[in-house]
Amino acid sequence: MKLLVDVGVGQGVERWLQDAGHDAVAVRDLDPRMSDRDILALAVAEQRLVITLDKDFGELVYLSNLSHSGVLLLRLDAADSKTKVLVVSEIFGQHEQRLCNRFSVFQDGILRVR
C-alpha cells in the first residue's frame, strides 16, 4: 500500500510502516510546511492513503468535497510514539484492505471506515 504520512504522526510510525514493507512517504521529508490541500492533491496524484492526526482533513473531504485516495485520521493527540506505532500496526494488521479510497477515523479504540 502506498502511504503519505503527515508530520504530526511521527517518525516512529513512518519507520514502522517502511519496515513493514509499505511505500510510505513522509511529508516531513518533502516539505514540513505543506498545506493540507497540497497533501491531499499529492496523495491523489500518487494514489496514496494519507495518515494524519489533523482533523482539518475531514473538512476538506466532506465540506470542500476534495478528492482523496483515502485518509486515516488518528485521534491520538496525546499519545506517545510507541502507542501510535501500536495503534497503526493493529489497524494495518486487521483492516488494511478496507482503508483504500475511504475516510477512516480511529478514536477510543474504534476504527470507523466510511
pLDDT tens by residue, 60-70: 999 999 999 99
Class of domain 2-113: alpha beta
The predicted structure's pLDDT at residue 77: 78
Residues of the chain with pLDDT under 70: none
Q: Is 109 left (phi over 0), alpha (psi -120 to 50) or beta?
A: left
71-74 and 49-52 beta bridge pairing? parallel
The pTM for the full model equals 0.96
Give the start-to-end residue ranges of the domains of the chain: 2-113
* Rounded Cα gap, residues 84 and 64, in angstroms: 28
φ/ψ of residue 96, rounded to 5: -50, -45
